[in-house]
Amino acid sequence: MAPSILAADFSRLADEIHQVEQAGADWIHCDVMDGHFVDNISFGPAIVGFVRKQTKLPLDVHLMIEHADHYVPRFVDAGANSITVHVEPEAKHDVGKTLRQIRDAKCRVGLTLNPETDFKLIEPFLDKIDMLLVMTVHPGFGGQKFRVDQMPKLKRAKSINDRIDIEVDGGINADTARVSIQNGANVLVAGTSIFKTKDYAKAIRDLRGS
Ligand code: DX5
Ligand code: ZN
């Protein structure tokens, strides 16, 4: 379970992180948006560094930015444990080179594709990553509706490389978590269905189906 702090109350971010950690979170998902690759601006390395000081949980950094290769060193220095970059040409970086850069920095290597992106774009890299993130919403905002039409991508990835983690992100709640797990997901990102509730521990149990 990787709660997405995009939905957290930033006026008391330290408390929010401590609470989801006590509630059973496994990782903390950090959504970095630059207002170019996606139509929204969130936060950068400084906030990831702040999160790093609040918890020992792995930081799962999702870069929705152009020129990720230029910024990877700053997120490594901020304390990221895994860094996930986008495969789309609009992300304006040499994907293979950036994946090696993340690997050489001793971070877990993640790659992701938007719902509109053909799976073919990802296939050449499936043996070079630790985690595939299948976006189940078009990135840029929390609180969007889950796209069940993305499930075949999970199965396809598993059939090609069953050693990598399969992460889903966007519109994950107790029902869509079930569907995602049935299709091969083992990492669930959730923002609204955790931080917009009163009981984080119950929310995480419901998402786990326990
Ligand atoms: C969207 C982000 C997601 C988002 C998830 O671009 O990548 O991580 O914060 O939020 P919910 O769970 O509310 O869809
Ligand atoms: Zn995300």
> Is there a catalytic annotation at residue 31?
yes
Instruction: Inform me whether the pLDDT recorded for 60 exceeds 90.
Output: yes
Cα three-residue angle 20-208-2, rounded to 5 degrees: 40
Residues with CB under 5 Å of ion ligand 2 are 31, 62, 169
Q: Tens of pLDDT along 174-192?
A: 999 999 999 999 999 999 9
Share of the chain above pLDDT 70, in %: 100
- Ligand 1 touching residue 60 (CB < 6 A): no
Task: Say how many Å lie between the CA of residue 136 and the centre of ligand 1.
Answer: 9
Provide the b/e sequence for 108-129 (b: ≥16 CB within 10 Å). bbbbbbbeebebeebeebbeeb
pLDDT of residue 210: 82
Terminal Cα-to-Cα distance of the chain (whole angstroms): 12
Catalytic site residue from 9, 31, 39, 60:
31
CA torsion angle for 19, 21, 22, 26 (degrees, to 10)?
150
> Is there a catalytic annotation at residue 165?
no
pLDDT of residue 12: 98
Q: Tens of pLDDT along 78-97?
A: 999 999 999 999 999 999 99
